């Protein structure tokens, strides 16, 4: 019941964030197509030598296979990139997995709660942006649980850096910018874009977490009730068998006394 209440609030926050996400994707898609935009440092393609992966996992368990699926997607991504990987874990479950798997854990953020703000996400975005701009990593991926429906959550990995302009967006212009210089606009826009992509993924992850936990706890409750019914039936059968045995013994003894 607690997870159901939290899930509804989390779903509302996801729905409220999506229109803003569409608008900022539309702006990035539009301005990236203008002359000189592709030369921005956060959009330049490099030879990949080092990779960073930001994993978004819950702080707590009891969410069915959700955590396992996210960790499995992280390992699949590591195998695909085939380059040295640095992990930034958001959530205790991801940090614990990185430690057990002996991954290069370079950052850990926990205790963000069910209602993180952009200010809470800013340190995460700042770390990956600093690592990318300094050349410590050449590409950054984000792994999280995408909220599809109450019954379905999907572990997903997306490229965070270098920024890949959306091929299409539901939000269209025409857009006008001040100043009329793509580089100047992108210098302010792209860090905010990266920050919001992480924030939206965090909202999706929280909604997925509470949905998965609600389903897992519902299944656990149903299984417990089934076990209670089965064990109650077995106990009743055992008690009846014992009573029948005692009656038979008493009847047999009485018959023996009568005939003796």
Q: Cβ-count burial of 165 within 10 angstroms (0-12 exposed, 13-18 middle, 19+ buried)?
A: middle
SS3 assignment, position 51: strand
Residue 192 pLDDT > 80, yes or no?
Answer: yes
Residue 207 pLDDT > 70, yes or no?
Answer: yes
CATH architecture assigned to 2-211: 3-Layer(aba) Sandwich (3.40)
Report whether the peptide linkage leading into residue 83 is cis, meaning its omega lies within 30 degrees of zero: no
Spell out the domain ranges in the chain.
2-211
Predicted confidence (pLDDT) per residue in 239-250, tens digit: 898 888 888 888
Mean pLDDT of 66-88: 95
Predicted confidence (pLDDT) per residue in 103-116, tens digit: 999 999 999 988 89
**Where do we find the tokens 């997870």?**
3
Looking at residue 44, its pLDDT comes to 83
Predicted confidence (pLDDT) per residue in 26-65, tens digit: 888 777 766 555 667 888 888 999 999 999 999 988 888 9
Dist. CA 199–CA 180, nearest whole Å: 28
Per residue, the 3-state secondary structure of 95-129, as one string, reads HHHHHHCCCEEEEEECCCCCCCCHHHHHHHHHHHH
Predicted confidence (pLDDT) per residue in 111-169, tens digit: 998 889 999 999 999 999 999 999 999 999 999 999 988 888 999 999 999 988 776 65
């Amino acid at each position: 019941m607690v997870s159901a209440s939290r899930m509804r609030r989390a779903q509302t926050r996801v729905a409220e964030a999506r229109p803003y996400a569409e608008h900022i994707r539309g702006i990035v898609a539009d301005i990236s197509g203008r002359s000189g935009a592709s030369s921005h440092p956060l959009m330049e393609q490099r030879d990949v030598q080092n990779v960073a992966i930001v994993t978004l996992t819950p702080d707590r368990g009891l969410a069915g296979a959700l955590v396992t699926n996210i960790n499995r997607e992280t390992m699949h991504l590591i195998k695909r990139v085939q380059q040295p990987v640095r992990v930034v874990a958001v959530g205790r479950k991801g940090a614990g997995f990185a430690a057990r798997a002996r991954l290069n854990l370079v950052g850990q953020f926990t205790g963000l709660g069910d209602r993180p703000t952009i200010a809470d996400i800013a340190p995460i975005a700042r770390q990956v942006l600093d690592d990318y701009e300094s050349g410590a990593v050449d590409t950054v991926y984000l792994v999280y649980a995408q909220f599809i429906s109450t019954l379905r959550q999907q572990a997903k990995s997306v490229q965070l850096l270098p920024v890949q302009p959306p091929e299409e967006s539901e939000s269209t212009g025409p857009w006008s910018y001040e100043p009329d210089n793509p580089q100047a606009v992108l210098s302010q826009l792209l860090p905010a874009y990266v920050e919001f992509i992480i924030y939206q993924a965090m909202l999706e992850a929280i909604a997925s977490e509470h949905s998965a936990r609600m389903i897992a706890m519902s299944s656990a409750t149903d299984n417990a009730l089934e076990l209670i019914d089965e064990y109650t039936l077995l106990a009743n059968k055992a008690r009846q068998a014992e009573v029948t045995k005692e009656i038979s013994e008493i009847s047999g003894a009485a018959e023996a006394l009568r005939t003796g």
